[in-house]
Chains A and B, each alone.
Chain A
Amino acid sequence: MDFVNATILLLNYIFVPALAYGSQLALGAIFVTLIYGILRFANFATGDMMSFGTMVAILFTWYFQSLGINLGVLPTALLAIPFAILFMIFYMLTIDKFVFSYYRMKKSPPVMLAMVSIGVMFVTQAVVRIIIGPFDRRFFDGERFILKANQFKEMTGLNEGLTIKSTQVLTIIITIIVVSILFWFLNQTKTGKSMRAYSDNEDLALLSGIDPKRVVMITWIIAGILATIGGVLYGLDKSFKPFTYFNNMLPIFAAAIVGGIGNPFGAFLGGYVIAFSEIFLTYAYKKFFMYVLPESMEPDSLLQLLSTDYKFAVSFSILVIVLLFRPSGIFKGKVL
């Protein structure tokens, strides 16, 4: 049964990790795309805002742990998320009030707002590093694995093991829940519809009596929720390090643009496109072909399309190709 082994191999090393990573990117990409669609600027502080939310969640986690509160098999951080979100929303609204709103009133060009977001990026990064430090931090507790490779091998009698981390399952489930609520909100509720209208045509929306202040406020609130959840899920799955979060801004941007910036559903799928292509192109397929092909044709090289060092470069190349041939993204952008 070599084909079964080969499938399990791909599932274990490509499909499951890419699905989890893609979900984390997707949340960030929706965050970027919402800001772009409604507030009309590229937010370079994305990564650092996510790291800020995660930092708050970590601080709450530590606090709960010191009180002896935990969720058993689930990580304590899940309990901290709602508190972190509240804090993050407050942070976002403060920034908007003191920094962004001024330029919005003045109707500055989007470039100006992007520059301002760089200032916010510097400040947020400094605050995060001053409070929690630049080091790698793991804040996961509870049960690490749902399925271990050895257990799977014993259960099925196959050569290849399948490992499923609880964080991966949590990431995927939470992403699906959050994204479905978000789409329901945008498509079904009156507020969501007014946001879409505002994004589509600002002047027309104002004429129909939509309150721009309210739209902007709700956008920041949603952005705060997405940033915190996305950041905490990434930190649970891997680890929290401010510099990594800053760097994650780049594949997140790639995902948002590939999906068509301004289009949340596109951004959602864009996250998976980026994650899957990164992992597909940098995986060494030697073992896979050893299972699939007869012994005489066994490959002697690693059969890796690109070395894993180029993981980031893959997503950026996809972005460049998309920008060249379909600048509005795979799904047409600018329609919320």
Chain B
Amino acid sequence: MKQYANVITAYIIMIFLIIMVGIFQSWAIALTILNFCLISAVMTMGANIQWGYAGLINFGIMGYTALGGLAAVLISVPPVREAWQVGGLSMLLCLGIIVLIVFSVRYVLKNFQKSKRKNIYIASIIIAGLIILRIVSGPAIHSIEAVEPAKTGFLGGLGLPIIFSWIAGAFFAGGLAYIIGKIALGLRADYLAIATLLISEIVISVIKHEDWLARGVKNVIGLKRPVPYEVNLQSEQWFIDLVAKWNSGKLNLISGAEEKQAALSQFVIEGSSVFVKLCYSGLFIIVVAILLIVTQKALYSPWGRMMRAIRDNEEAANAMGKNVVKQHLLIFILGSAIVGIAGAMMVTHDGLFTPGSYRPMRYTFLIWVMVIIGGSGNNFGAVLGGFAVWFLWIEAAPIALFLINLFTSGLADTNAFKLHLIDSVPYFRFLMMGIGLLLIMRYRPKGILPEKINIK
């Protein structure tokens, strides 16, 4: 028990902070922060598996998050029948062509000797394939995007419950990770970081600009929810009763029947949004708990020990007969798949998919700050890092405002310097993140909750 004391203390402080937000700001804000903390925790667990367990740098987190979000759209949106009629067949044909290109390149790679001719074959297959793709897909894309461009203009999805997308998102991200891993895992650490960063940018630009897939920058809004809608809740009798019971103390203070009714309806409106957020929190906590149990088991299994051995000394592990390349690829896929789940969860929570909002600062570097601050190699640390950094990221503006007012209290309210500082309050979050990261890297390089290895 004693060895977990600092873990428990850290989590209690975190929960206390969120409750404080609930009391001083509002419960809806506190729960939103909690939900995003949970999503960030899933992302950091993914990154932590790659960095903490295996020492792989993956700066492509943004790409996997976006793919998870894409999965949410493709699973939950009902199919657009008209679009499928005008262009569905051609798009399927394109998919076939891509598969054909991949297999023919593989065939050439396997069955030809290394020579100039081989390279020419591969290049000509790819170029010819791309030209055919352009010819087949061009008119189809045009006609798909012409179908009610203001509302649809894309192929739509499968129309399944959105919760399935969490699994599909994992598969999407894992698939991308397989391709990237095959290409880039042989590179040195910092090359791998740059390569993954750039590949994730390519993924984002494809999602942004292929409107037939998910409407691109026109965004998909109004995705279905796995939890009830506020409006429906507000007319349900059981919910009204529940709210009345919950707030009975406050309601009893009010005397007039009409005023009581008005107060109750106010409480119901507030309560419905809190209730919906609580439902999300419940779902997310289940995911986080499952992932924590699985990753924790994995870390202390023979497989986890092997991964640490590979991380700490690749050559030695290789000499012991461990397949380093294969294990690196495996862990790259697993970690990315977890990030994909988080991407799908985030789009589910927001109810909309906005490819334009995926930026490396928020979705790659911030997640890395979380991993480093939390403690790489320690799952509880990663989750805590997700919580703490996200909390700070959101609450940085109020904190900064408070500090600015404190330090410039001697200045007049119309002072240009003070006004300028107050205007730029939103950017203090970057400053806090950066200074936090630098301090942690300097004085506690293993993070708040460092990795613990019990040798039995």
- Interchain CB contact under 8 A, A126 and B198: no
Q: Which residues of B contact A (CB under 8 A)?
A: 57, 183-184, 187, 189-191, 193-195, 197-199, 201-202, 205-206, 208-209, 361, 365, 368-369, 372, 421, 423-424, 427-431, 433-435, 437-438, 441-442, 445
Contacts of B442 in A (CB 8 A): 102
In addition to A118-B368, A120-B434, A327-B187, 10 A-B residue pairs with Cβ atoms within 8 Å of each other are A112-B441, A112-B445, A118-B365, A119-B435, A130-B421, A133-B424, A250-B197, A253-B198, A254-B198, A320-B184
A residues 270-303 in Cβ contact with B at 8 Å: none
- Interchain CB contact under 8 A, B209 and A309: yes
Interface centre among A115, A134, A246, A309 (most CB of B within 10 A): A115
Among the stretches A4-12, A72-80, A193-201, A311-319, the one at the interface with B is: A311-319
A residues 105-143 in Cβ contact with B at 8 Å: 109-112, 114-116, 118-127, 129-130, 133-134
A110 to B187, CA, bound (A): 14
Per-residue CB contact flags for chain A residues 19-53 toward chain B (1 = under 8 Å, else 0) read 00000000000000000000001101000000000
A130: contacting residue among B184, B369, B431, CB under 8 A: B431
A93 CB-CB contact with B under 8 Å: no
3 interchain residue pairs of minimum CB distance: A122-B434, A123-B434, A126-B430
A324 CB-CB contact with B under 8 Å: yes
A231 to B73, CA, bound (A): 39
Between A and B, 20 residue pairs with Cβ closer than 8 Å are A102-B442, A111-B189, A111-B193, A112-B441, A114-B57, A115-B372, A118-B365, A118-B368, A119-B437, A122-B431, A123-B431, A123-B434, A129-B424, A129-B427, A129-B430, A310-B209, A312-B205, A316-B199, A320-B183, A323-B184
A164 CB-CB contact with B under 8 Å: no
A327: contacting residue among B190, B191, B428, CB under 8 A: B191
* A121 in contact with B365 given A126-B427, A134-B427, A253-B198 (CB within 8 Å): yes
How many A-B pairs have beta carbons closer than 8 Å: the answer is 117
* A317 in contact with B191 given A115-B372, A310-B209 (CB within 8 Å): no
CB distance from A102 to the nearest CB of B (A): 7
Contacts of B208 in A (CB 8 A): 309
A110 to B191, CA, bound (A): 11
**Count of residues in A whose CB is under 8 Å from the partner chain:** 43
- Nearest-CB residue, chain B, relative to A131: B424
Contacts of A319 in B (CB 8 A): 194-195, 198
- Nearest-CB residue, chain B, relative to A45: B434
A86 CB-CB contact with B under 8 Å: no
A92 CB-CB contact with B under 8 Å: no
CB distance from A6 to the nearest CB of B (A): 23
A217 CB-CB contact with B under 8 Å: no
Contacts of A115 in B (CB 8 A): 368, 372, 437, 441
- Interchain CB contact under 8 A, A110 and B190: yes
- Interchain CB contact under 8 A, B428 and A130: yes
- Interchain CB contact under 8 A, B437 and A257: no
A99: contacting residue among B198, B369, B424, B438, CB under 8 A: B438
Interface centre among B190, B201, B208, B209 (most CB of A within 10 A): B190
A307 CB-CB contact with B under 8 Å: yes
CB distance from B370 to the nearest CB of A (A): 12
- Interchain CB contact under 8 A, A323 and B187: yes
A253 to B194, CA, bound (A): 8
CB distance from A49 to the nearest CB of B (A): 13
- Interchain CB contact under 8 A, B201 and A250: yes
A214 to B288, CA, bound (A): 51
- Interchain CB contact under 8 A, A116 and B438: yes
Per-residue CB contact flags for chain A residues 165-201 toward chain B (1 = under 8 Å, else 0) read 0000000000000000000000000000000000000
- Nearest-CB residue, chain B, relative to A98: B438
Contacts of B372 in A (CB 8 A): 115
Interface centre among A124, A134, A254, A316 (most CB of B within 10 A): A316
Contacts of B195 in A (CB 8 A): 319-320, 323
CB distance from B24 to the nearest CB of A (A): 26
Contacts of A312 in B (CB 8 A): 201-202, 205
A253 to B430, CA, bound (A): 23
- Interchain CB contact under 8 A, B198 and A320: yes
A129 to B400, CA, bound (A): 14
A126 to B199, CA, bound (A): 26
- Interchain CB contact under 8 A, B191 and A257: yes
Interface centre among B195, B209, B423 (most CB of A within 10 A): B195
Contacts of B189 in A (CB 8 A): 109-111
Contacts of B433 in A (CB 8 A): 122
